């Protein structure tokens, strides 16, 4: 172990510090001073350069690998969108500028204004806020809006209804807003059980949150009926639109009874979800909820674009300034680049690709809720598990074959789940190569299950102790850690 990781050699130097130009004896209290020499790796500059360059090459990314990580939409995003977000006029703009002199930032404000209009058009909503920084943040914002709405109208509400196939952030966001969460089980068709829903619906329900398509990748054909029932009971409808690449240009949540929707720009609109980078979870609402939107809002008057802070019913700010402006800019550019026809094609290809994978894996893997899916498909390794090969083993074996694994063990309602999202940007050749790899692994699981359990064999580190890695992660340099072990 030590030979692989430890690069430090006693006495080796990577820097030459200038001569000390302050008194060596400082006034720092004794207790705050270092008692021993700092334990730092002793490496030359070249060692450091090679170390980080090698690490960067081990990184799996969309520019190097097929990355079917379900629900994350790890697709190819046009590089021109990055370039536009990086234009100096946008990048170097000070966020206080619009408050000091909006005349100098009319273009930047116009982007916010126009991006909001674009998203309204795509979703069928009346107004948008671009402030939320993530999908979950959008949910929280949306639920705060719903809470403000009910409070204003003096409605007495306690519950949020979510299906058990919803994204995990849905019940979490509802609980964070102080609601009690009613979870409705999934019926045989893979959708929320309609009868149980009707039983639980009451005038104390604040909202029904639907992940659509749900985490099984399935569209709920009853959403109109659900919305009508919910509205009759005085509840609002919340659409988790994180995976909008499933329906763009085909269905607008605002047209089928939804009052609030959040989108993940960092999935559908030219920013990848993975990697922990910045995201954006804009929230759209119907007219009745518009007065509650976060401030400031970009408005247009006859002078041009202005920031409006005056909104007595607003829930206030949900982030500093205006959200992740660069992410919004990429989305704005992407929408203009693709246009209406392009967005429709993107959705059609996303859905077609997922169904192609589903249809070709059928027979090799169990397909729970086997019907036409949307942008992703969920297969189960339950058949392979009987031979001792679990979803995790299949994921590891895929790494050896040059593919990033799909999402595993999610949704939780499917045993041994593998959630595959091929995305709209992959070619048939790539999909075929992935499918062949999956079929190969299924065959190996039958014939030599032990071999699958050895994977990955091509990576610098093989099977790690995942429990220990999670419980005791080593996130910083520990000198001679491996010797002590």
Ligand X SMILES: *Cc1c(COP(=O)(O)O)cnc(C)c1O
Instruction: Give contact residues for ligand X (rule: CB under 6 A).
Output: 71, 134-136, 167, 169, 211, 240, 242-243, 264, 279, 281
Least distance in angstroms from the C-beta of 283 to ligand X? 12
Closest approach, Cβ 129 to ligand X, in A, equals 15
CB of 423 to ligand X, least distance (A): 13
* Cis amide prior to 74 (ω within 30 degrees): no
Residue placing its CB nearer to ligand X in the complex, 216 or 389: 216
Dihedral-angle region of residue 154 (phi above 0 means left; psi in -120 to 50 means alpha; beta otherwise): left
Rounded Cα distance, 246 and 35, in Å: 59
Task: Write the DSSP string, 227-244.
Answer: HHHHHHTT-EEEEEETTG
Q: With H, G, I as helix, E, B as strand and everything else as coil, classify residue 167.
A: coil
Between 135 and 294, CB nearer to ligand X: 135
Give the list of residues 6+ apart from residue 479 with CB closer than 8 angstroms, or none: 8, 39, 41
57/48 Cα distance (integer angstroms)? 14
- The residue (of 129 and 169) whose beta carbon lies closer to ligand X is 169
- 68 versus 281: smaller Cβ distance to ligand X: 281
Whole-number minimum distance, CB 119 to ligand X, in Å?
16
Phi and psi, residue 304, nearest 5°: 135, -150
CA gap 456, 441 in Å, rounded: 12
Backbone angles phi, psi at 407, to 5 degrees: -65, 140
Min separation Cβ 323 and ligand X, Å: 13
Instruction: Report d(CA 125, CA 323) in Å as an integer.
Output: 20
Least gap, CB of 70 to ligand X (angstroms)? 9
Q: Are 262 and 241 in contact (CB under 8 A)?
A: yes
- Comparing CB distances to ligand X, the nearer of 384 and 407 is 407
Of residues 169 and 347, the one with the C-beta less far from ligand X: 169
> Which residue, 74 or 389, is less far from ligand X as judged by CB?
74
Task: Give 281 or 323: the residue with its C-beta nearer to ligand X.
Answer: 281
* 84, two tokens: 């536009």
| Whether 73 contacts 268, CB under 8 Å | yes
Question: Which residue lies nearest ligand X, judged by its C-beta?
Answer: 135
Closest CA to 451 of 382, 399, 397, 392: 397
d(CA 199, CA 201): 6
Residue 400 Cβ vs ligand X, minimum distance, rounded to whole Å: 27
Nearest residue (CB) to ligand X, 260 versus 445: 260
Q: How far apart are the first and last CA of the chain?
A: 10
3-state SS assignment for residue 366: strand
Min separation Cβ 242 and ligand X, Å: 3
The residue among 169 and 355 lying less far from ligand X, judged by its C-beta, is 169
- How far, in Å, CA of 73 to CA of 424, rounded? 9
Q: Pick from 382, 414, 400: which is nearest to 458 by CA? A: 400
**Least Å from the CB of residue 13 to ligand X:** 43
Nearest distance from residue 156's CB to ligand X, in Å? 28
E strand segments, 347-458: 377-380, 407-408, 417-420
């Amino acid at each position: 172990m030590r030979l692989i990781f430890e690069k430090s050699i006693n006495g080796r130097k990577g820097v030459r510090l200038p001569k000390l130009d302050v008194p060596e004896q400082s006034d720092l209290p004794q207790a705050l001073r270092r008692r021993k020499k700092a334990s730092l790796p002793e490496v030359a500059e070249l060692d450091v350069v090679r170390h980080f360059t090698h690490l960067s090459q081990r990184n799996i990314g969309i520019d190097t690998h097929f990355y079917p990580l379900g629900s994350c939409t790890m697709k190819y995003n046009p590089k021109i969108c990055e370039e536009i977000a990086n234009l100096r006029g946008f990048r170097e703009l000070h966020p206080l500028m619009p408050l000091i002199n909006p005349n100098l930032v009319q273009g930047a404000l116009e982007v916010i204004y126009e991006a909001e209009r674009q998203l309204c058009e795509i979703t069928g909503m009346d107004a948008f806020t671009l402030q939320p920084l993530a999908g979950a943040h959008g949910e929280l914002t949306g639920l705060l809006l719903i809470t403000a709405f009910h409070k204003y109208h003096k409605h007495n509400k306690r519950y949020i209804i979510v299906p058990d196939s919803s994204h995990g952030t849905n019940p979490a966001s509802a609980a964070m807003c102080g609601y009690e969460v009613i979870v409705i089980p999934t019926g045989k068709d893979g959708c929320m059980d309609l009868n149980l829903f009707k039983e639980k619906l009451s005038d104390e329900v604040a909202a029904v949150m639907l992940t659509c398509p749900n985490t099984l990748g399935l569209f709920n054909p009853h959403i109109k009926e659900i919305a009508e029932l919910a509205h009759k009971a005085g509840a609002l409808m919340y659409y988790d639109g994180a995976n909008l690449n499933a329906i763009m240009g085909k269905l607008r949540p605002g047209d089928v009874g939804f009052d609030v929707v959040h989108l993940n720009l960092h999935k559908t609109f030219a920013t990848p979800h993975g990697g922990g980078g910045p995201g954006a979870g804009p929230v759209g609402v119907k007219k009745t909820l518009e007065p509650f939107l976060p401030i400031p809002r970009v408005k247009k008057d006859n002078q041009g674009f202005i920031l409006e802070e005056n909104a007595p019913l607003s829930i206030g700010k949900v982030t500093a300034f205006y959200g992740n402006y660069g992410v919004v800019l990429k989305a704005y550019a992407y929408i203009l680049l693709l246009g209406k026809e392009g967005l429709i094609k993107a959705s059609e290809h996303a859905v077609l690709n997922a169904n192609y994978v589903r249809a070709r894996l059928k027979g090799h893997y169990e397909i729970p809720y086997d019907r036409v899916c949307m942008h992703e498909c969920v297969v189960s390794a339950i058949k392979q598990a009987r031979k001792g090969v679990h979803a995790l083993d299949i994921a590891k074996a895929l790494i050896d074959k040059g593919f990033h694994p799909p999402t595993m063990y999610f949704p939780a309602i499917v045993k041994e789940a593998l959630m595959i999202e091929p995305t709209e940007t992959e070619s048939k050749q790539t999909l075929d190569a992935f499918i062949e790899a999956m079929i190969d692994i299924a065959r190996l699981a039958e014939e030599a299950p032990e071999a699958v359990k050895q994977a990955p064999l091509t990576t610098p580190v093989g099977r790690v102790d995942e429990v220990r890695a999670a419980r005791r992660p080593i996130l910083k340099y520990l000198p001679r850690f491996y010797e002590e072990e």
